[in-house]
């Protein structure tokens, strides 16, 4: 009789263990399904200094994000996605992908590129290159672009069951640099990552007197961060106005757009350049432009005070 009771207890205990395990697995599965959200990712750019460059192409093999479970793949493309970054400025952007990710906090996105690696040997250009106005092309080099990827750092959160829209600002004016006297161009990892719901935009215009000086550029700086050294002659693999958050060309009527900016206070600096994009002089500034996330600010600048 005792043996039968023992056997019954063993069967009941085993059944309970199996039942609880199945219930936990079911809950875990349900939690996994709920604990995801989506990210859609777009690309944009700021203008470059070299007026002889017509296009800058990159080819993207996959998109990955670094979050609560480490690096996750947003999407791997069957064929490389080829994009002319210079075609997307003044608030325009290229929609790259939308994919599911684990819900939670993220700190980084990287693009795995179909691109020539920087090397001493001869290599053929497989997908990313520069095209000049005369139709000639030149390979574009990105150190580790095909391995560790072209990275953009910035914090964002994937909401459970929701969608977050993100824009990567490649800012080719700072990212695209010559590698010494080699004649090669490097694509440095100078990328801003912006959550679109927090992004703001400035639509501005200058007086006619200012635009009569020829080609003018505007550079946006975080409040108080501009120094006179920003206009110094750049060294190897450097640019003028290196700490500008973003920049834009002024149209013939003096209008400009600074897009995908985070909330904060900015100082705008205006520079005259020649037809080749070479710096001539700093014209002046417009101080203390306050931006709130998700807003479009229109400003008319009737006077530039030289400093």
CA nearest to 280, candidates 269, 291, 272, 289: 272
Residue 30: what pLDDT? Answer: 46
Establish if 26 belongs to a structural domain.
no
Beta bridge partners of residue 33, listed in sequence order = none
Verify that 230 and 162 share a domain, yes or no: no
Verify that 63 and 149 share a domain, yes or no: yes
CATH number at residue 231: 2.60.40
Establish if 160 belongs to a structural domain.
yes
Its domain, for residue 83, covers 36-198
262: left (phi over 0), alpha (psi -120 to 50) or beta: beta
Looking at 198, 219, 253, which one is the last position of a domain?
A: 198
Establish if 40 belongs to a structural domain.
yes
Verify that 244 and 138 share a domain, yes or no: no
Establish if 162 belongs to a structural domain.
yes
Verify that 209 and 168 share a domain, yes or no: no
Verify that 262 and 141 share a domain, yes or no: no
Verify that 185 and 156 share a domain, yes or no: yes
Place of tokens 């000086």: 213
182 vs 157, higher pLDDT: 157
Establish if 176 belongs to a structural domain.
yes
Count how many domains the chain has.
Answer: 2
Establish if 2 belongs to a structural domain.
no
Establish if 207 belongs to a structural domain.
yes
Establish if 27 belongs to a structural domain.
no
Cα-trace Rg, the chain:
26
165-196: pLDDT as tens digits: 999 999 888 888 877 666 678 888 888 999 99
197-248: pLDDT as tens digits: 889 999 998 876 655 777 889 999 999 999 999 999 888 778 899 999 999 9
Residue 16's H or E segment, with its range, is helix 2-34
Q: Identify the band that residue 298 occupies on the pLDDT scale cut at 50, 70 and 90.
A: very high
Residues 6+ apart with CB under 8 A from 163: 37, 38, 39, 40, 98
Alpha helices in 195-290 (DSSP H): 208-211
Verify that 156 and 272 share a domain, yes or no: no
Verify that 134 and 228 share a domain, yes or no: no
Residue 193: what pLDDT? Answer: 93
Beta bridge partners of residue 195, listed in sequence order = 166
Total-model pTM = 0.79
62-109: pLDDT as tens digits: 999 999 999 999 999 999 999 999 999 988 999 999 999 999 999 999
Verify that 175 and 44 share a domain, yes or no: yes
124: left (phi over 0), alpha (psi -120 to 50) or beta: beta
Alpha helices in 69-140 (DSSP H): none
Residue 127: what pLDDT? Answer: 77
Verify that 251 and 148 share a domain, yes or no: no
Verify that 242 and 182 share a domain, yes or no: no
Looking at 167, 182, 198, which one is the last position of a domain?
A: 198
Verify that 60 and 102 share a domain, yes or no: yes
CA nearest to 98, candidates 164, 12, 174, 197: 164
Angle at CA of residue 197, ends 196 and 203, nearest 5°: 70
Residue 42: what pLDDT? Answer: 96
242-286: pLDDT as tens digits: 999 999 999 888 899 999 999 999 999 999 988 888 899 898 899
Choice among 155-159, 254-258, 301-305 with the minimum mean pLDDT: 301-305
Looking at 167, 198, 229, which one is the last position of a domain?
A: 198
Residue 139: what pLDDT? Answer: 83
């Amino acid at each position: 009789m005792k043996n039968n009771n023992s056997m019954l207890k063993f069967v009941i205990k085993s059944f309970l263990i199996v039942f609880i395990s199945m219930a936990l697995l079911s809950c875990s599965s349900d939690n996994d399904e709920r604990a995801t959200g989506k990210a859609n990712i777009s690309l944009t750019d700021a203008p470059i200094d070299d007026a002889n460059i017509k296009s800058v192409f990159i080819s993207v093999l996959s998109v990955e994000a670094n979050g609560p479970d480490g690096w996750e793949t947003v999407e791997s493309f069957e064929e490389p996605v080829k994009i002319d970054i210079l075609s997307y400025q003044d608030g325009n952007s290229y929609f790259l992908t939308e994919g599911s990710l684990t819900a939670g906090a993220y700190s980084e996105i990287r693009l795995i590129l179909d691109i020539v690696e920087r090397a001493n040997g001869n290599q053929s250009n497989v997908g990313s290159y520069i095209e000049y106005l005369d139709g000639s092309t030149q390979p574009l080099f990105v150190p580790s672009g095909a391995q560790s990827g072209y990275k953009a750092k910035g914090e964002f959160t994937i909401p459970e069951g929701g969608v977050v829209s993100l824009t990567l600002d490649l800012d080719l004016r700072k990212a695209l640099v010559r590698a010494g006297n080699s004649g090669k161009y490097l694509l440095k990892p100078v990328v801003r990552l912006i959550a679109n719901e927090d992004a703001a935009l400035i639509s501005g215009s200058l007086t006619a007197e200012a635009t009569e000086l020829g080609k003018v550029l505007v550079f946006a700086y975080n409040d108080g961060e501009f120094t006179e050294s920003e206009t110094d002659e750049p060294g190897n693999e450097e640019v003028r106005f290196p700490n500008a958050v973003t920049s834009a060309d002024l149209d013939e009527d003096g209008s400009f757009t600074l897009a995908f900016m985070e909330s904060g206070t900015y100082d705008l600096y205006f520079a005259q350049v020649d037809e080749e994009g070479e710096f001539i002089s700093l014209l002046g500034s417009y101080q203390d432009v306050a931006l709130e996330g998700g807003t479009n600010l229109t400003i008319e600048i009737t006077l530039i005070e030289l400093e």
